[in-house]
Amino acid sequence: MIYTEDFFTAGSTYQNDDLVQLVDSYTHENVNFKKITHWINNYLMDDSKVDGIIYRKRNGEYYVDTSILSGSEISAKRFGVKADYITDDSDALQKAVNFGVRVGWNITLPAGKIKVSKTIAIDFTTNNNDGNSNGKDRKFELIGRGINLTQIYDEGDDGHIVFDVKGSSPDRVNGFNAKHFSIKRADTTNATGGTAIKIEKLILLNIEEIHIFRFTRGFTLIDCCVSYFKNLKIDYCKEAFKADIGNDPIPANNVTNPNLLNFVNCVFNSNETLGVHLEGAHNVKFDTCDFEGNFGDVLVCSYIGKNGKNSLNLINCYFEGTVNGVDLFYVPYTGGTINLIGNSFSRVYQGATHNIVIDFRYYNQEVQYTNHEHYLNMMGNAFRDDFQFTEWDTYPPISLWGNNEHLHIKDFNYYDHGNNLTQN
């Protein structure tokens, strides 16, 4: 039995076979290494491409773990991640991520409790087009074993970001996937700081089955589009999710508002001050999502008419128990559409107000737009008032603020009580 660190140690006397069977020094699993002359992208091997875990050098010759040759995923344990809730796995996890980003390879996270205290940078801006990376079209997946099996515990400071994912302008990296793990802060009375995930300047994101708990902000999305979120659960955070175009000092680098974002079966519950905040959104859809027990406004969305003329589509979503805020606060700045289909809005407690507020106080008939009309299309939504909520006369389900002369409403909804709409 020969361990990898013994075989690849300088001066070791083991025979340089073309194929060697070893035992990984970190995981104690059997691994095979094969002698090679070229790297993953068919560039000739040199010392700059040696990472010390997967690609290695011994006595002037290069080897690769045969998992790469067979297309198998690589476990973060190979880079030293312990997942024992004792060891700080920050540095080991960063090494695993660096390898995955550099070569465009899938990295799996082990079952267990992965403790981190430093930001894990997933940086697609490094080595984009040189011979030491796999090009700007690299695809990278970070895959856990399930939200209850792979749990990342953040013990960083209050301003800490756990996963800081960066692309670049104007060339966008396609295809970052993250799925099947949870990210948590200490379970105290209130959110205890930090941001779980921040993603900037990427397209074709796929975020699936991730649970975020007790952060100051759960998820930040900047200058990203054409992305899919499924079974994303963010609860007991101060703010759950925010998306905008960003404020890059070079204006040309600010490319897209939240655009073509699709949320399916997501949960945003029991957040302290704000649920989801979308600035300048267009063609954003929430399908069969749950918004319950939030304090403050639940879904805040502004629309500025850039690119597409459809702003927000809510389909088959459920809102219940909002306190000190409204379920949907919508601010249109120019002509377009918003579509609400088959949603349930339930006011349960005293302290609830309107379900929906549409704020026309900032409506701007910009000269470049010839059509200033805005359409609120509502089909089959149900507005329910629990017996504990008795202020339906004071707070009709829908409230319009400002001059709404350009607003057109199609209302095919069910209302429990009183007038369905009021103008302020």
Rounded to an integer, what distance in angstroms lies between the CA atom of residue 419 and that of residue 273? Answer: 28
Q: Which residues pair with 23 in a beta bridge?
A: 3, 30
- pLDDT beyond 80 at 129: no
What is the separation, in whole angstroms, between the first and last Cα of the chain? 79
Tokens of 92: 């080991």
Residue 175: what pLDDT?
Answer: 76
pLDDT, tens digit (0-9, with 9 covering 90-100), for 361-390: 988 755 445 678 999 999 999 999 998 888
The average confidence (pLDDT) of the chain is 92
pLDDT level of residue 161 (50, 70, 90 thresholds): very high
Query: Cβ neighbours of residue 158 under 8 Å, at least 6 residues apart?
Result: 192, 193, 194, 216
pLDDT level of residue 113 (50, 70, 90 thresholds): very high
- pLDDT beyond 60 at 203: yes
127 DSSP 8-state letter: T
pLDDT level of residue 328 (50, 70, 90 thresholds): very high
The continuous run of DSSP H or E covering 92 comes out as: helix 90-103
Residue 27: what pLDDT?
Answer: 93
pLDDT, tens digit (0-9, with 9 covering 90-100), for 17-49: 999 999 999 999 999 999 999 998 888 999 999
Q: Provide the 10 A C-beta neighbour count for residue 197.
A: 24
Rounded to an integer, what distance in angstroms lies between the CA atom of residue 78 and that of residue 51? Answer: 12
As a whole number, mean pLDDT of residues 323-327 equals 95
pLDDT level of residue 308 (50, 70, 90 thresholds): confident
More confident residue, 236 or 372: 236
| Residue of 271, 264, 335, 342 lying closest to 300 (CA atoms) | 271
pLDDT level of residue 172 (50, 70, 90 thresholds): low
Question: Whole-model pTM?
Answer: 0.94
The continuous run of DSSP H or E covering 408 comes out as: strand 407-415
Residue 125: what pLDDT?
Answer: 84
pLDDT level of residue 11 (50, 70, 90 thresholds): confident
Tokens of 377: 């299309």
Residue 158: what pLDDT?
Answer: 87
As a whole number, mean pLDDT of residues 406-411 equals 93
- pLDDT beyond 60 at 131: no
- In percent, how much of the chain has pLDDT > 70? 93
Burial of 414: CB neighbours in 10 Å, binned 0-12, 13-18, 19+ = exposed
More confident residue, 176 or 120: 120
Residue 409: what pLDDT?
Answer: 94
pLDDT, tens digit (0-9, with 9 covering 90-100), for 397-407: 999 999 888 89
Rounded to an integer, what distance in angstroms lies between the CA atom of residue 51 and that of residue 410? Answer: 61
More confident residue, 112 or 137: 112
- pLDDT beyond 50 at 291: yes
